[in-house]
Amino acid sequence: MAQRQRFLFVDLDGLLFAARSHVRQHPPVFNKELAVLEDTEIALNARELTKVLAYEVGEAQLIVCREGTFYNQNVADAEALIADGWKMKKKGALHHPTLDNMLRQTLQTYGAAVDSPSGSFSSKTLALAAGTLSSATLSCLELFLQRGWHVQLHILGLCAQEFTAQLEKFEHRYLDLKLDNLLYKRPVTVVADQTMSSSTVTKKSGDRSYPVGFYEKRRSAAVRLRMLQESPSEYTRSDEQQRFVFMDMDNITTSFFTSDHLYQQIPGAASTRDLRLNFKTLTERVCGKENPELVKRQLATYFKTSEVLAQAFKQRRWTLRKQETTSDTTLQLELYTQLLSSTTDARTLVLVTGDGNREDDDRSFIGIVRKYLENSWSVEIHSWLHSLSEAYVDFQKMYPKSFKVYPLDTDFHELITSVASTSPIGKDTNLPPYRLQRRPSGNGELLSLSVAQPDKNNGNNADSTRQIVEVFTTQLASLQTANAELMNKNRSLEDANAELLRKNQALEQRLSAFRSSASLMLNNNYIALLHRDLANLAQVFDDDQGNLSASSRTQTN
């Protein structure tokens, strides 16, 4: 008799989204505390989920695998499943078909199931916990049925309503009444500041509070940093190779301004909007301070980035290309053009972007970078860790001598040129000034901003308040001056526009007169031609008459 095997899978993103939505829609049924929490504050009980999927009444089955998929926002829950023995794979994008690929690979590896002699059960059971399933995923599950597998879907009732007809083909078990055991309030933790690791410590009273996204993005960044450290690159920047620098400005600035963890390293910053990027430092980092003549291209494309930021890059010798859509086709076309037109042997591509999408085809950045590497280019990637595609980590393993990732996070404090808090003045008046210092770590020195001690002799809160008021007053005066200049320019443009209108009207009048005179000239020329033709006809007539008279005289003689 064939041993019964059980294969457990979970679509973590879909399951958590559906479960959290269900709790909010039915607060009287569940723990009221869960119903008022944010999504990221509701955690999944990994051990309970394993029990739900692995348990079969009256049957002892062999658990062959426990696998699942997740994306950035559910890193903490994925780590809990990993701790419980699951193998979790991170998706390159929220809607990437990672689960479908995983299911197909499982079917290909383990093949068809063997039915019992009586045909009452199958030797292989697939148990999947998920939210709303896509048509592609349902098609994958139908392949299991065709190969003799038994398929169990562990879903919520609200998801089952969306594919009732297809659901009849599978055994389905509702999770609605099990959510009290599957979900719980996530405990509040903070990440230790000494290193970028995934270790946590219990939050104590008086500790600084962090937004929920801080934990997940910092863990994501820590995972990528650890992966890079485990695959060290042998690449060193050459002093002779020509450098071709391309930047996806939207990716770099958006990843920075929307991050929930980077600004937390700066005391007094309420968000990344309080921070200012040092464009000079960033440019020198990617282009190189020495031998600027080696930089043959320095191109940045953008669509969403503000014109103010774009112009700041332009002042650093960047050539700007404004895209018409959010698509990356403009930069990708420039990269392809550069690859086809370059003939120099020693070349380095510097790509400033993260491109978290894992798509690997000729139209993606990953596919284009692969072509550069295959054509003997050296390639540098400069990116924020939390938005870095894991494919680039794989490239560092595959091409250790010609490829290297340079995380911007490692020089974060050097990339910050100022702190301009948007918080109310009264909130920050007691903040002392900042001091940049170096502190040792296991891998060398780390830069950090520390709080400088106030001068007890001549420094006080009143001085700090006056300094802040002076700064705001100066900024307000500058804005008023700039506004006046804009108004003057606007009036000048209006005057210039009026002058252009007057000139246009004068040109139209001259054009009309010219057309009239040209028409008259054409008429006069036509009359002259008629006179000439009439004169020619008269001459011909006179000649004919003379010839006729001569002929008559000849006949008479």
Of 327 and 497, more confident: 497
Pairing mode, strands 5-11 and 189-191: unpaired
pLDDT at 472: 65
Is the predicted pLDDT of residue 372 greater than 90, yes or no?
yes
Do the bridges between strand 295-302 and strand 319-322 make them parallel or antiparallel, or are there none, so unpaired?
parallel
H helix count then E strand count, the chain: 18, 20
Helix (H, G, I), strand (E, B) or coil at 232: coil
CA–CA separation, 195 and 192 (whole Å):
7
Per-residue exposure over 66-76, b if at least 16 CB sit within 10 Å of its own CB, e if not: bbbbbbbbbbb
Check pLDDT > 60 for residue 357. Answer: no
pLDDT in tens, 484-495: 778 878 787 888
Rg for the chain (alpha carbons), in Å? 37
Report the percent of the chain where pLDDT is more than 90. 22
pLDDT at 201 over 70: no
Which range has the top average pLDDT, 47-56, 163-172, 462-471? Answer: 47-56
| DSSP annotation of 402 | T
- 218-247 pLDDT, tens digit per residue, is 777 777 888 888 888 899 888 888 999 999
- Which two structure tokens, joined as six digits, stand for 492? 């000048």
Contact yes or no for 247/297 (Cβ under 8 A):
no
Tell me which H or E stretch contains 67.
Answer: strand 62-70
Q: Which residue has the higher pLDDT, 350 or 393?
A: 350
pLDDT at 115: 64
φ, ψ (nearest 5 deg) of residue 432: -75, 170
CB 354 within 8 A of CB 383: yes
| d(C-alpha 407, C-alpha 411), whole Å | 8
Strand partners, 299: 246, 319
Whole-number pLDDT of residue 11: 95
Question: Can you tell me the distance from the alpha carbon of 277 to that of 437, in angstroms, rounded to the nearest whole number?
Answer: 19
| Residue ranges of domains in the chain, CATH in brackets | 5-185 (3.40.50), 214-423 (3.40.50.1010)
Q: What is the pLDDT of residue 464?
A: 52
Report the alpha-carbon distance of residue 6 to residue 18 in Å, rounded. 24
- Give the confidence band of 424 by pLDDT, cuts at 50, 70, 90: very low
State the SS3 of 284-310: HHHHCCCCHHHEEEEEEEECCCCHHHH
pLDDT in tens, 234-283: 998 888 889 999 999 988 888 888 777 777 777 777 777 778 888 899 99
Average pLDDT, the chain: 76
Q: Can you tell me the distance from the alpha carbon of 263 to that of 257, in angstroms, rounded to the nearest whole number?
A: 9
Q: What is the DSSP letter of 91?
A: -
Q: Which residue in this structure is represented by tokens 């054009």?
A: 511
DSSP 331-379: HHHHHHHHHHH---SSEEEEEE--------STTSHHHHHHHHHHTT-EE
> Which band of pLDDT confidence, cut at 50, 70 and 90, is reported for residue 454?
very low
For residue 71, is pLDDT > 80?
yes
Which letter, b or e, does each residue of 359-379 get, where b requires 16 or more Cβ atoms within 10 Å of its Cβ? eeeeebbbebbbebbeeebbb
Q: Within 10 A of 124 (CB to CB), how many other CB atoms are there? A: 26
Per-residue confidence band for 381, with pLDDT thresholds at 50, 70 and 90: very high
pLDDT of residue 427: 36
Q: Are 348 and 378 in contact (CB under 8 A)?
A: yes
Residue holding tokens 């193998």? Answer: 87
DSSP secondary structure letters along 496-523: HHHHHHHHHHHHHHHHHHHHHHHHHHHH
- Range in 47-56, 96-105, 108-117, 421-430 with the lowest mean pLDDT: 421-430
- Judge whether residue 530 has pLDDT over 50: yes
Across 128-132, 494-498, 546-550, which has the greatest mean pLDDT? 128-132
Q: Is the pLDDT of residue 91 over 60?
A: yes
Q: Which two tokens stand for residue 257?
A: 């301004």
Helix (H) or strand (E) holding 54: helix 46-54
Residue 193, amino acid? D
Question: Residue 131: exposed, middle, or buried by beta-carbon count in 10 A (0-12, 13-18, 19+)?
Answer: buried
Question: What pLDDT is stored for residue 299 in this prediction?
Answer: 95
Report the predicted TM-score, pTM, of the whole model to 2 decimal places. 0.45
